[in-house]
Amino acid sequence: MNSNTTLRIPPYAFAVFVLLLGLLLTSCGGSAEPEVPPTPTLSAEQTAGKAVFQGAGACSTCHSLKADVRIVGPSLHGINDVAGSRVEGQSAEEYLLASIIRPQAYIVEGYEDVAMDPTIASRLTLEEIDQVVAYLQTID
């Protein structure tokens, strides 16, 4: 048996094989981890606050989140952007808290004749109030 009868594998065959395997693996890896842009999500506290807004607090029965939609109270669309400049010296968080526990302390222009129910806060726990304030701060 001489060298003429042995199976001859061209020297570049191995390189081609490795290259194809590499392409196959990268394409599989790519589809296993699709690039989905991150979506903004609410924290646990903000999510709980959203539930209070729609449920226990009944805020959504008087407040729309759509711009310029008046139910009983003003739309809270973009509330986090204006809350910090409503009352001098009050941060957005302080103003939002005050507007729930002492709604008469600041009356939104045009709402002099309709009051926000001042007993709402007494029907919520302190935790629920903090949660709804955290949620309102996501609305901008």
Residues that bind ligand HEC (CB under 6 A): 57-59, 61-63, 72-74, 79, 86, 96, 99-100, 103, 106-108, 111, 114-117, 120, 132
| Shortest Å distance, C-beta 66 to ligand HEC | 14
CB nearer ligand HEC, residue 3 or residue 119? 119
Cα of first residue to Cα of last residue in the chain, in angstroms, is 84
Q: How far is the CB of 44 from ligand HEC (least distance, A)?
A: 18
Residue 78's region, left for phi above 0, alpha for psi from -120 to 50, else beta, is left
Residue 27 vs 85, nearer CB to ligand HEC: 85
CB 57 within 8 Å of CB 66: no
List the beta bridge partners of residue 70: 63
Q: Kindly calculate the radius of gyration of the chain based on its CA atoms and give it in whole angstroms.
A: 31
As measured in angstroms, the least distance from the Cβ of 123 to ligand HEC is: 9
